[in-house]
Structure 1
Amino acid sequence: MTIKTTLMGAAVAFACTAGAAQAQTYTMTLAHVLSDTSPYQVILEEFKSLIEERSGGDIAVEIQCCGQAGNETRAIQSMRTGILTGGFVGGSTLENVVPAYRVLSLPYLFEDKAQAYEILQSEMGREMLDLLGEFDMYGLGFGSIYERSVASKEPARVETIDDMQGLKIRVLPTPGFVEAYIAMGTQPTPMSYGELFMAIQNNVVDALEISPDAIVADGFYETVNSYTMTRAHQSTTVFVLSQSWWAGLPSDVQEMIQTAADDAIAVGIEAHDRLADEGLETARAAGVEIIEPDLGPFMEAARQSWDVILTDQPEAAEFKDRFEAFMAQ
């Protein structure tokens, strides 16, 4: 064998090795707790399609829906430790980990869903996402906003704030939501989402706060009689990744994932808005009474919880002030 042949062989071997390094493959396991027809699923399926196509198959995505990875608290812990690559979680659940996110549980913080989107898609929203890095997570973006109102069974029909007094209502298991509904005079009952259908069906609770799309997607329209558009919370959602997994990626792969996430979130928001509108119509057609109350008294009562929710939470209070300044412009 000549020296020239040996050098050519070495060059080919090096090129093959370099090519193999460039063709590094990644597998992403992404989880959420909602159904396989939910906006969470829509976003993650769109993300899967986009990233697998754009990476030429070098990034594969597995989606675990319906709480397969446990409830949101457990899923977040799995993301922080790297057991899960990431997924979709509620901003209200994150408040138990990230103090600044307590601001997202303030009732009637935003005027409406459009305003919530405007603020959370701004630089202030990106700052909130960047805070996740301190807690071993990376925030790809805020997703759909779930406008939550009160669904109830007879005789617990809500037309005025007086009808809320003593109402036993299931709320998200976070301090902010509990305090908000205490201020409105109810008996807030935190429980996991998986327990909720049986709880309302068996009269363990009189009512629940929920978005209109979820009433239909998870069958609640079959057991509740009325849906009162209190709109107390514009509940946020977040596309989260494990910080350790994210930090180990080359910058070009990070950029590809971020862009695919942005595009998928836009598709998911549009799908969610459509599902919310359709949910109201489906519920109404099924005999659920849709009630539009005067929101003034609800706002006045609920906002009395703000100081309690923000107690010893300076970061959350600062974001609240910044949001209000932005909205006042």
Structure 2
Amino acid sequence: MKTTVKMIGLCAAVLTLGMAAPAFAETTLRIGTVLAPNDPMGQGLEKFKAEVEEATNGEVVVQVFHNSQLGDTTEMIDQARAGANVGTVTDVARLSSFVPSLAIMSAPFLFDTYEQADKFALSEEYLEWGDQLKEESGLVMLASNWYQGPRHVLTQKPISTPADLNGVRMRTIGAPIWIETIRAMGAEPTPIAWGEVYSALQMGNIDAAEAQPTAITGAKLFEVIKHVTKTGHIQLVTALVVSASAWDEISEENQKIVRDLAVENGRHASQLTIDLGEKSLADVEAAGVTVSDVDLAPFKEAVSGVYGLLDLEEEAAIVNKVLGR
């Protein structure tokens, strides 16, 4: 009788343990973006999701939220820092408040090609700054090679020199490198959430904006502006970041898989950006907006002091060294 009772108890314990301990610990990464699903970044995130889940055998699940479903980029970063399971694709300049050197990725007229930005984003020097980011902010940078394209000036009047931007209220990203670049170009920097840009232009709360070609079409800004001037003043190189608390739940083996796929899909999304950029500008022009080239020399001269103003001259020298120029 005692033996039977013991056997029953043992079987019950085994069953209980079996129910309590799954074969693997599943971790979900929730990643949001302010951009539309058909934007190259959105497409890249969906591909990243599928490949991560397959490569980790479902041990890491990625949920993607488009069109500011989780908030504006700054709000998502704040949520992640507070410990929420949230990640996003962000311009690196927003992260410079934690690691000032990171602002160099958004410096004006720094990179001539995506290949240069990709090379620097994987350099030892840059990755060291990425390691500091986790310590200083509670954010983990998975990859910094998600290219969104050249930022151009969107206005209601023709622009040919920085003087034409005098007094123009231009929406930009609320990080010092962006604000000082737009100010140096002659405009009045006005940071507001990306999701509010269309209505702000429509209602006249701002006079202008600056954005990459695919974002102009994705947000339908061609409906509320008259001119696109191809300044390309900043090459928008962005980073995929996640909450450190969610990241630390992932095994080292799976962390390597996720990082490698973040870099690989960053390149995929970036190539989409490059491929779709000219088409986007053609679509904008077809909608009745004037798309113009411009002499960049006056704009480059106007922003040349931004590096010294924000104490980024040493970082610029590091970029030039890595790129061999």
- Give yes or no for the alignment of 1:84 onto 2:85: yes
Q: Which residue of structure 2 aligns with residue 211 of structure 1? A: 212
CA distance in 1, matches of 2:108, 2:56: 41
**CA apart distance, 1:19:** 11
Unpaired segments ≥5 residues, structure 2 = none
- Contact map agreement 1:103 1:317 (CA 8 A) in 2: no
Which residue identity is paired with 2:208? A
- Contact map agreement 1:92 1:235 (CA 8 A) in 2: no
- Give yes or no for the alignment of 1:178 onto 2:179: yes
**CA apart distance, 1:217:** 0.7
Which residue identity is paired with 2:211? I
Q: Which of 308, 314, 321 pairs up with 2:317?
A: 321
CA RMSD of aligned residues (A): 2.6
- Contact map agreement 1:113 1:145 (CA 8 A) in 2: no
Change (3 A) 1:117 1:262: closer
SS in 2 for 1:227: strand
SS in 2 for 1:255: helix
**CA apart distance, 1:86:** 2.0
CA distance in 2, matches of 1:219, 1:145: 16
CA distance in 1, matches of 2:132, 2:111: 21
Q: Which residue of structure 2 aligns with residue 74 of structure 1? A: 75
Higher alpha-carbon deviation: 60-69 or 119-128: 119-128
Higher alpha-carbon deviation: 19-28 or 290-299: 19-28
Q: Which residue of structure 1 aligns with residue 98 of structure 2? A: 97
C-alpha distance after superposition, 1:175-219 (max 9, x if no partner): 211111222222222211122111112222221111111111110
Number of residues paired by the alignment? 317
Which residue identity is paired with 1:322? I
- Contact map agreement 2:96 2:102 (CA 8 A) in 1: yes
CA distance in 2, matches of 1:126, 1:18: 41
Matches within 5 A, 1:56-135: 56-134=57-135, 135=137
Matches within 5 A, 1:285-300: 285-300=286-301
Which residue identity is paired with 2:125? M
- Give yes or no for the alignment of 1:144 onto 2:147: yes
Report percent identity of matched pairs: 27
Q: Which residue of structure 1 aligns with residue 169 of structure 2? A: 168
**CA apart distance, 1:271:** 1.6
C-alpha distance after superposition, 1:259-287 (max 9, x if no partner): 33233222211222222222111112222
CA distance in 1, matches of 2:19, 2:268: 36
CA distance in 2, matches of 1:320, 1:269: 23
Q: Which residue of structure 2 aligns with residue 254 of structure 1? A: 255
Which residue identity is paired with 2:197? L
CA distance in 2, matches of 1:291, 1:195: 25
Change (3 A) 1:61 1:39: same
